[in-house]
Structure 1
Amino acid sequence: MHGNDGPLQINKSVKHGSRGPTDFLHAANSLCIPTTTGLQDGLPDSIGYEYANSTITHEGKRHDAATAYIHPKLRDDKHPNLHVLCETKVSRILFDGKKRAVGVELSSNGPAFDGAMNGGAVTTIKARRLVVASCGAIGSPLLLERSGLGSLEVLKKAFVPMVSDLPGVGAEYQDHNYVPWAYKTNGNSDDALNDFWRGQITTEDAEAKGLLAFSGCDLHGKLRPTVEEVKTLGPAFEAAWEKDFADKPGKPLMLAAAASTADPTLPPAQYFSASHYTAYPYSRGKVHITGPSLQDPIDFETGFFTDEHDLDLKKAVWAYKKTREIMRRTSMYRGEAPEEHPRFPAGSAAGLYHGENSLISQGKVQSLLYNAEDDKAIEQRLRERIATTWHSLGTCPMKPRELGGVVDQKLNVYGVRGLKVIDLSIPPMNVGANTQITAYTIGEKGADIIIKELGVCDTAANGITI
């Protein structure tokens, strides 16, 4: 499914926690959550946990967009028309009287750059044929708005003259909102990253143990509730489930991860984390400018847990209970880290555990029962701890303009010419996966579109000049 060539290589991590992941998988299996091998290959009906894939070379080195796509071309002496300006900010896109993009305005963060840019001075770079914005789900909508592309109301308040009225710019921010939960274990420093992240072992010792080749994230998961569990989440959730999930058995309600590490600010101990994040959020946020300058504050709201019927919150409550039950059935489990978990009422049957031995060794494992007060405690802690996965998207969506779209199927920005957006701001809905590969796919497809439209190829003689 991942192919055999190309600039990126995808492999299983070269290092995993030696006991924790296996223990966790066995516990998940005991709750009828399978161990799978097709989760990250896009195979249908693939639900459960498996060992995480990573963009790691066959030699065990991590790589990314820069090391896979950019650095080789900067070093091969075959692309003299490729220039990378570091420590540089793009303030706006320039248009001529016919609303064609003709260049960009930018400034250097630091001292003079190759004698062409003075530190802090504004410089203009002209474009003969095309400008491509690829600033991400946060940066691209802000760049478009500073350039006069966006909602008339937003632009008017920010004192930016309008070039194209596009209410969809920055209006539907989405993310895989995420919460990690740490559990105490009987592991050791060879088994996890806890001691290394806290600085309790040296880099040299960590390298000798193979920990520097280890991200800490052992397992990825895709989770769906049972029919009985769906019924406990209320009629609004049942309706959403029937509409969006029931007839799609491979579509996850929640994404999950399990890691041989935890927040290094927790009290010294060995931890294993079970995390969850909503795959397809119903909540929406926003990101807008408040003025024409890069220095002006940003009007940014994540929108986490703001959907009308609290569907995203209900998902997270269910996922907390489910992943907690998995951990309670592991042999490494020694209780919850109280600094992260809900503050259940005194005497609650769902209260936190702390012990020298696992529950499973004592024969005491049974599913917890939560009452209404317990659920409120979980909801409160979720609202306090909800965080980003850095999977932001949807702020310049590809869909019809009348439905709030910003770009068309060829990535052209509506209402102007010679301008495309090619990044994670264009997906109109989220994806049931880490968005890294989605970003690379959009980049490669966007490059194909440009090459076809401009009639050029990736050579020194015929390269694209921006």
Structure 2
Amino acid sequence: MVAQVSDVADKTFDYVIVGGGTAGLTIAARVLENTDSSVLVLEGGAPNLDDPKILLGGGWGSTFGDTKYDWAFMTTPQKHCNDRQLLWSRGKGLGGSSAINFYAWIKPPAADVEAWEELGNPGWNWKAYTKYTLRAEGFTAASEDQLKEYAHTHNIEYRGQSGPVKTTVPVTPLQINRFFLEAAQKQGLPLLEDAYGGNTTGCWEGSANLDRKSKWTRSYAATAHYLPHKDNPKLKVLTEAIGAKVLFDDAKDGEDLVATGVEFIHGGKTYKAYANKEVVLAAGTLKSPQLLELSGIGRRDVLDKIGVPVKLELPGVGENMQDHTFIGISYELDPKVSHKTADLFRNPEFAKEQVRLQDLDKENMHRLGITAFGYAPLQLASPNGASSIVEKMTAYVEEKKQSGTLPPGLAEQWDIQLRVLKDSTLPDIEVIAFPAWLTHISQPEPGKCYLSTLCVTQHQFSRGSVHAKNSDPLEQPDIDPNTFSVPYDLDIFTENFKFARRLADTEPFKSGVVREVDPGATAKTDEEIKEYLRNGSNTCYHACASLSMLPREKNGVVDPKLKVYGTKKLRVADMSIVPLEVAAHTQATAYCVGEHMADILIGAA
């Protein structure tokens, strides 16, 4: 169904999009639906269509590290994580990371999105975010049978009705969700009717990207935006095509660079494709900066180091990168209760039977979701420690601002983050009931079921970077998240961990588990907990901001129309443009960026 290189090489299209992932396919589909323009999408991975490892739920992480599906990026050694190198999985193939993520559909607090506009981006606010995510989403409410088992609530005003990206209430491990959510309420988190309207402080049952009308399989960018347009003669999608650099007209002194197309690598050979209207980079937070640098746009010291002539100096390229960090606490569930967790898939006979049931379109374990979430302010999670951490973080920020060593634009971001940290109504931490084993010290025992409470930091003050390692487009970039470089991020994470443990010590959670397996007795004191976090934490796959949408003098790379400063006909549309991290899993936000970019291109925004 995808194009051949002969359909693309040396051809001209109205739009050339580099990256057939979450945002890239969204942009392509909306342009095709609203204009007569031709679109070329270059995707570095294989099509991976009709692949059960992608389509069937419950196999969380099974594609991670497999280079058929995963770019399997590795970070530089992390100084504040005992020099560990971390695997940063990112989707490789049509659909990008929406094809390999844990298919949770979460929206952030309204305040987090309003902050983007406050940083100098008119039109990037909660009203626009709501418009674009409602357009993307096609929500199906819980069935009558599900409602008999658990009162799944929603406010239909917060849910998209007719969008191509399907969301629903999955068939969930109800006992786990119930005791997690009841314990969270006893610890002060209100049970929210619907967390999709801008208030996420509390606990609730979240939605998942499963399509009830397609045997409850994963709904992702390829099924939502590629397959409906695969036969459109205006669309060409070339897979296994790695973007090498952006092509420009010969530059004239004092004038903007004008993008004319893209050079790409396919089958070991280099080709070119041209754009009449725009080149759009949608290769993600980790690849789009590298592509700009290989094109001669970025920090002079980086370009000099990799031997690429400077066409345009933009110091913000590859800087300001932010992420969420997670850790798990694993609990053995009471064997006297019949639990449904993904641990059961470790039994080959059980797994085989679930596939058979799936083929018959009968209820099975591939319809699991991760749906019990809690988001809490630091003040609620740590009544005794919050004020001290806030004081220390405030003093740290002030000291850095006074030193004059902060990069442009960071002081304003940190001021907003401090405001959020001091606000006892906005979330700083996340806890999730993950229906399976997900820790790193021990190994799960055959035949047993587990619950892992995942602790996830939200607004980290630490900033990382991603830069081209050399001039070879096939080389992975240097990725340095710089995790815990601001030491009080680790303090907040420690309080997050301790809050999760308090939930586990609260009924009915407490009686539902036999024991804490990892980290167990090895992490009791604050220092022991911190060592567990340093040794076992990893990305939550939500990196953003490496090509921040900020004013140019604030180390911005793109303007509010997502145009790269100092250029014409060149834009970026993926999570790299988000200037300040949100307290949410980022899939819905990536779709929002794609929808917003499409409206800009068609003149509707």
Report TM bin, short chain: 0.7 to 0.9
SS at match of 1:138: coil
Query: 2:430·2:496 contact (CA, 8 Å) conserved in 1?
Result: no
Letter in 2 for 1:335: R
Paired residues for 1:157-236 under 5 Å: 157-187=305-335, 190-197=339-346, 199=348, 201-205=350-354, 207=357, 210-215=364-369, 217-224=370-377, 225-226=379-380, 227-233=383-389, 235-236=391-392
Please name the residue that 1:31 is paired with: 187
Structure 2 gaps, min length 5: 1-157, 252-256, 398-415
2:218 to 47, 62, 66: 62
2:265 to 107, 131, 140: 107
SS at match of 2:239: coil
Please name the residue that 2:274 is paired with: 126
Distance 1:35 1:391 in 2: 25
Q: Please report how far the alpha carbon of residue 229 of structure 1 lies from its aligned counterpart in structure 2 after TM superposition.
A: 3.7
Distance 1:246 1:107 in 2: 45
Q: Once superposed, what is the RMSD of the aligned Cα atoms?
A: 2.3
Query: 2:210·2:219 contact (CA, 8 Å) conserved in 1?
Result: yes
Please name the residue that 2:283 is paired with: 135
TM-score after normalising by structure 2: 0.64
SS at match of 2:455: strand
Query: 2:204·2:373 contact (CA, 8 Å) conserved in 1?
Result: yes
Q: Which has the higher helix share?
A: 2
Q: Please report how far the alpha carbon of residue 195 of structure 1 lies from its aligned counterpart in structure 2 after TM superposition.
A: 2.0
Q: Please report how far the alpha carbon of residue 249 of structure 1 lies from its aligned counterpart in structure 2 after TM superposition.
A: 4.5
Distance 1:242 1:147 in 2: 33
Please name the residue that 2:459 is paired with: 280
Please name the residue that 1:323 is paired with: 500
Alignment of 1:395 with 2:546, yes or no, is: yes
Please name the residue that 1:367 is paired with: none
CA deviation vs aligned residue, 1:258-300 (integer Å, no higher than 9, x gap): 1221139433332101111111111111110121112345221
SS at match of 1:414: coil
Closer, same or farther: CA 58–286 of 1 in aligned 2, 3 Å:
same
Closer, same or farther: CA 249–57 of 1 in aligned 2, 3 Å:
farther
**Bigger shift: residues 64-73 or 146-155:** 64-73
Q: Please report how far the alpha carbon of residue 341 of structure 1 lies from its aligned counterpart in structure 2 after TM superposition.
A: 4.7
Distance 2:418 2:248 in 1: 44
1:266 to 430, 444, 459: 444
**Bigger shift: residues 220-229 or 440-449:** 220-229
Alignment of 1:243 with 2:418, yes or no, is: yes
SS at match of 1:183: strand
Distance 2:293 2:247 in 1: 12
1:302 to 473, 476, 481: 481
CA deviation vs aligned residue, 1:177-201 (integer Å, no higher than 9, x gap): 1112111111466521112146462
Q: How many residues align?
A: 406
Letter in 2 for 1:288: H
Closer, same or farther: CA 301–246 of 1 in aligned 2, 3 Å:
closer
Closer, same or farther: CA 282–341 of 1 in aligned 2, 3 Å:
farther
Structure 1 gaps, min length 5: 109-118, 345-349, 351-373, 455-466
Please name the residue that 1:337 is paired with: 517
Distance 1:343 1:54 in 2: 34
Distance 2:421 2:493 in 1: 18
Distance 1:238 1:149 in 2: 35
Alignment of 1:427 with 2:578, yes or no, is: yes
Alignment of 1:92 with 2:254, yes or no, is: no
Query: 1:92·1:146 contact (CA, 8 Å) conserved in 2?
Result: yes
SS at match of 1:100: strand
Closer, same or farther: CA 279–82 of 1 in aligned 2, 3 Å:
same
Alignment of 1:7 with 2:182, yes or no, is: no
Distance 1:287 1:89 in 2: 18
Please name the residue that 1:111 is paired with: none
Q: Please report how far the alpha carbon of residue 391 of structure 1 lies from its aligned counterpart in structure 2 after TM superposition.
A: 0.8
Q: Please report how far the alpha carbon of residue 315 of structure 1 lies from its aligned counterpart in structure 2 after TM superposition.
A: 1.2
Letter in 1 for 2:185: N
TM-score after normalising by structure 1: 0.82
Letter in 2 for 1:318: E
Alignment of 1:436 with 2:587, yes or no, is: yes
Please name the residue that 1:353 is paired with: none
Q: Please report how far the alpha carbon of residue 388 of structure 1 lies from its aligned counterpart in structure 2 after TM superposition.
A: 1.2
Distance 1:250 1:211 in 2: 37
Distance 2:530 2:352 in 1: 39
Distance 1:20 1:306 in 2: 35
Distance 1:228 1:140 in 2: 43
Query: 2:184·2:374 contact (CA, 8 Å) conserved in 1?
Result: no
Please name the residue that 2:530 is paired with: 379
Closer, same or farther: CA 214–133 of 1 in aligned 2, 3 Å:
same
Query: 1:223·1:254 contact (CA, 8 Å) conserved in 2?
Result: yes
Q: Please report how far the alpha carbon of residue 10 of structure 1 lies from its aligned counterpart in structure 2 after TM superposition.
A: 2.4
SS at match of 1:39: coil
Distance 1:266 1:285 in 2: 33
**Bigger shift: residues 401-410 or 4-13:** 4-13
Distance 1:301 1:389 in 2: 15
Query: 2:168·2:210 contact (CA, 8 Å) conserved in 1?
Result: yes
The alignment-based identity, stated in percent, is 29
Distance 1:405 1:72 in 2: 35
Distance 1:120 1:297 in 2: 16
SS at match of 1:337: strand
Closer, same or farther: CA 211–327 of 1 in aligned 2, 3 Å:
same
SS at match of 1:128: strand
Distance 1:399 1:381 in 2: 36
Please name the residue that 1:366 is paired with: none
1:18 to 174, 178, 197: 174
Query: 1:189·1:195 contact (CA, 8 Å) conserved in 2?
Result: no
SS at match of 1:129: strand
